[in-house]
Chains A and B, each alone.
Chain A
Amino acid sequence: MRVGQWVVTTLAFALPGTMAFAQPAPAPDSSAYAALAKLPEIAGLWEMTFGGGPRAAPPEGPSFTPAYAAKLKSYQEAQARGEIQDSPAANCVPPGMPGVMTQPYPIDILVTPGKITIIAEAYAQWRQIFTDGRKHPDDPDLTYNGHSVGHWEGDTLVVDSVGFTTDTALGGFGMRHSDKMHIVERFKLAAPDKLEIQTSITDPDALTKPWNSTRVFARHREWTLAEYICQQNNRNFTTDDGKSGINLKYEAQK
């Protein structure tokens, strides 16, 4: 391809507003970095704590519309018949939102000018939350982790996310959502080393009322992120029709 043709093609794709990847971000100056020091210290490595134990009251589940309650019922019946045994995660498909935030592995929150990045160790995923004042794209691409924008309300970071593929589950087994799912998360330090994330999920197709939950994360200054390559030695699998299995063929690690 001639260089001129490449430039024309590239410019065509870079037209403002056409793609989520192409929104302009101003170069930060030193004051932008200095401003970060005044924010609550949500940056760092956190792991969700599992609350309550077996004697605790179970948290409230989502209230599904009849159509989505039927999807869940159908899934559970197929499970009871032994037809569905596992989720695509057994094949190393990452969870997407909201499940990416509730894995039994740490998240690392990075705060930089105009953007907050959450690295989820599980499946080596990330979320980027734009805090530079931009809006969601009018017609966002549908992705596992969605498109997120955030702003500070006092000491609370409010994150608004849309644009989710329906490939992912709402959370538990067989719970589905539509591409209209909308998630608002409120991040607040309850104590210097305790982060509370209140999550409110709405979905005009799937839910009859917002599904609200609060999760508590503990800070781990002593930890660092570890690599998580799910395909490294994955011996679990799910077939296309939901049957699960395990590969017991021994091979020495090279």
Chain B
Amino acid sequence: MSTQHSSAPGGRVWKQWATAVIGGLALAGVANAHHSFSVFDMTTEKTLEGDIVEFQWTNPHTWTWVSVKGADGKVTRWGLEGMSPNFLGRRGWSKNTFKPGDHVKMIIAPLKSGEPGGTLMRATLANGTEVVNFGRPPGGGPVLPPE
């Protein structure tokens, strides 16, 4: 499945969804699983394209390390937090979803600090498969975490 992100809902829609769900959970007394999203800019979707360095299938979060070549040719290693192996493993992911050297296109919410990191929303693998880590995918499909 190939996907186009140009028609994706903008940050405003995501922000409304995130505010409603995360705020609703807090009001319901549903504890946040591990941490707040305060370090991430959840209103921005940034596209990254690069090669997987390592996919760490670890708790409390998976970490995807990816080498991204900038317009100036300089390669930067980005660190992307993801949902846990426990959560993703029950939703179609495995420790082999990303392998070192895989070329992937990723949609992330970047760190507010400007450092090369963020939280992974979804990714398109070299074979066109899209995998959703967190949030509402454009054009429908499963929402993670479930509403």
Question: Using a CB–CB distance below 8 Å, which chain A residues touch chain B?
Answer: 48-50, 52-54, 56, 58-59, 61-62, 85-87, 89-90, 92, 95, 98-100, 102-105, 121-122, 169-173, 175, 211, 213, 220, 223, 226-230, 232-236, 238, 244-246, 248, 250, 252-253
Is B75's CB within 8 Å of the partner chain A? Answer: no
Is B43's CB within 8 Å of the partner chain A? Answer: no
B-chain residues with CB within 8 Å of residue A54 when the two chains form the complex = 16-17, 20-21, 24, 147
Say whether B63 contacts A244, CB under 8 Å: no
Contact flags (1/0) for B8-43 with A, using CB distance below 8 Å?
000000001100110111111111111110110000
Known interface pairs A171-B29, A246-B81. Does A228 touch B58 (Cβ–Cβ under 8 Å)? no
Say whether B34 contacts A89, CB under 8 Å: yes
Closest to A56 in B: B24
10 more contacts with CB within 8 A, not counting A175-B29, A213-B28, A236-B81, are A62-B29, A87-B32, A89-B32, A89-B34, A171-B28, A172-B29, A230-B60, A235-B81, A246-B117, A248-B79
Known interface pairs A56-B24, A104-B145, A226-B86. Does A232 touch B79 (Cβ–Cβ under 8 Å)? no
Question: Using a CB–CB distance below 8 Å, which chain B residues touch chain A?
Answer: 16-17, 20-21, 23-36, 38-39, 53-54, 56, 58-61, 63, 65, 77, 79, 81, 84-87, 89-90, 111, 115-117, 145-147
A-chain residues with CB within 8 Å of residue B38 when the two chains form the complex = 85-86, 244
Say whether B147 contacts A173, CB under 8 Å: no
Q: Name A228's contact: one of B20, B86, B147 (CB within 8 Å).
A: B86
A105 to B31, CA, bound (A): 12
3 A-B pairs with least C-beta separation: A171-B29, A99-B31, A54-B20
Closest to B65 in A: A250
A86 to B38, CA, bound (A): 7
Closest CB-CB distance, A121 to chain B, in whole Å?
Answer: 6
A-chain residues with CB within 8 Å of residue B20 when the two chains form the complex = 53-54
Say whether A250 contacts B28, CB under 8 Å: no
Closest CB-CB distance, A87 to chain B, in whole Å?
Answer: 7
Say whether A248 contacts B115, CB under 8 Å: yes
Q: Name B35's contact: one of A62, A86, A95, A223 (CB within 8 Å).
A: A86
A99 to B34, CA, bound (A): 11
Looking at B21, B31, B87, the one whose CB has the most chain A CB atoms below 10 A away is B31
A211 to B29, CA, bound (A): 10
A-chain residues with CB within 8 Å of residue B16 when the two chains form the complex = 54
A-chain residues with CB within 8 Å of residue B79 when the two chains form the complex = 235, 248, 250
Contact sample, A vs B, 14 pairs, CB 8 Å cutoff = A59-B28, A61-B27, A90-B34, A90-B36, A99-B29, A100-B31, A102-B28, A175-B29, A211-B29, A226-B85, A228-B59, A233-B56, A234-B60, A236-B34
Closest CB-CB distance, B39 to chain A, in whole Å?
Answer: 5
B-chain residues with CB within 8 Å of residue A99 when the two chains form the complex = 29-31
Say whether B29 contacts A228, CB under 8 Å: no
Say whether A52 contacts B87, CB under 8 Å: no
